[in-house]
Amino acid sequence: MTENDSPTYRVGIVGASGYTGAEMMRLLAGHPSFELVLATGDSKAGTAIADLYPSLAAVYRDRTFDAYTPEATDGLDVVFCGLPHGISQTVIPDIRGRAKHIVDLGSDFRLHDKELYPQWYGAEHTCPELLADFVYGLPELFRPQIEGAELIAATGCNAATSILALAPLLDAGMIEGQGININLITGVSGAGRPPKPNTTFCTVDEDVTAYALLTHRHTPEIEQALTERTGVDTTVLFTPHLAPMNRGIIATCTAKATGASSTEDVLGALADFYADEPFMVVSERSPSTKATLGSNSVHLTARFDPRTGQVITIATLDNLMKGASGMAVQNANLAVGLPEATGLSSIGVYP
């Protein structure tokens, strides 16, 4: 089946008024098989989409954000949940069974172990019985589980960048799983649309700061996915930094090499692992965030340092695309049986 003769799937977004929701609406406007029939906005219900996001005005000219009710999702083929942490676990039990597939962009169902939520998120999970029913939504590593899945927990933006940078080298046995260091820089849109004291223009402009030292919520997600996919018990020290840019992530990861190696070897391991992946770009070039802007691509490189015996691997992606909405669409394509690249571009916007 090609994109031109595929059926139309009716989809909805619960939590469409945030940045990930806006990006989702942009992607769905150009998707040949997904028809957006529901876009809820909580406090923005009744507000014109074009008033909140003029960039979408050409497509959503007179459309307003819908009010949310569980019944509004009845019969939909896919529901995307673009809600803050802690909200999806109160919504999804009510809409499960109403829609055929649910893709949660939040973090409520990414971790398998319910005991990790109080430790990393500061609260007990309200429906831990559903954790085992969700598959982890990182297609390049868990594609077989995602295909046809009813419930998908899309990967976090910081986690996706880090996991995709490290998985091939762990899988090839080239690096140790213990004591991996991840230093990551992210744009401000990752903090969401509502204003916060630490994300206002005057706070972030001309400043770079590290945050969530030793406590960032994506840490156990990174460890879980790498351990599960590669079979190597993995622990990471994850340190994110906030930079004065709208969107984009760059992760620089260092790990101890397991033996003699070379830059050619580690680059080859990345290239081999992602040889058939439409959105993965491996080269000797040092990746830049702007190269991935507006695309669903990930750019990667790696080096072996014989002086220290360390391997360095670097990845970049657009946090609102491959790190959120693009990733969600890729997952949904797999869930309904479409080619996974449908409606997604691997080409960035420049300058």
pLDDT per position as a tens digit, 26-54: 999 999 999 999 999 988 999 999 999 99
Domain boundaries, the chain: 3-155+322-336, 158-319
The CATH homologous superfamily of the domain defined by 158-319: Dihydrodipicolinate Reductase; domain 2 (3.30.360.10)
- Where residue 1 falls among pLDDT bands split at 50, 70, 90? very low
Residue 200 has pLDDT above 90, yes or no: no
Active site residues: 157
> Which residue has better confidence, 144 or 190?
144
Q: Rounded CA gap, 244 and 103, in Å?
A: 30
Identify the pLDDT of residue 38: 98
The one-letter amino acid code at 13 reads I
Q: Give the pLDDT band (50/70/90) at residue 342.
A: very high
CA distance 186 to 240: 7
259 — pLDDT class (breaks 50, 70, 90): confident
Inform me whether the pLDDT recorded for 313 exceeds 60.
yes
Of residues 318, 314, 257, the one with CA closest to residue 287:
314
* Strand, coil or helix: 111: coil
Pairing of strands 236-242, 249-256: unpaired
Is the Cα dihedral 113, 114, 118, 120 positive or negative?
Answer: positive
CA pseudo-torsion sign 50, 65, 153, 124: positive
- Residues 305 and 326: their CA atoms lie apart, in Å, by 34
Q: Write the CB contacts of 32 (distance below 8 Å, at least 6 apart in sequence).
A: 3, 4, 6, 342, 343
- Give the whole-angstrom CA distance, residue 95 versus residue 92: 5
% of the chain with per-residue pLDDT over 70: 98
pLDDT tens digits, one per residue of 294-306? 999 999 999 999 9
> Taking residues 142-161, what's their average pLDDT?
98
Say yes or no: domain 3-155+322-336 is CATH 3.40.50.720: yes
Mean of pLDDT values over 220-239: 98
Q: What is the mean pLDDT of residues 145-172?
A: 98
- Give the separation between CA 178 and CA 58, rounded to whole angstroms: 50
Q: Average pLDDT, whole number, for the chain?
A: 95
Q: What is the pLDDT of residue 4?
A: 56
59-68, 126-135, 179-188, 190-199, range with the lowest pLDDT = 190-199
Cis amide linkage into residue 32, ω under 30° from 0: no
Q: What one-character-per-residue DSSP string does 203-225 give?
A: HHTT--EE-STTT-THHHHHHHH
- pLDDT(199) > 90: no
What CA dihedral angle connects 318, 82, 67 and 124, to 10 degrees? -150
SS3 160: helix
CA gap 170, 269 in Å, rounded: 10
Whole-number Å distance between alpha carbons of 287 and 250 = 8
CA 83, CA 65: separation in Å to the nearest integer? 15
pLDDT at 141 over 70: yes
Residue 179 has pLDDT above 70, yes or no: yes
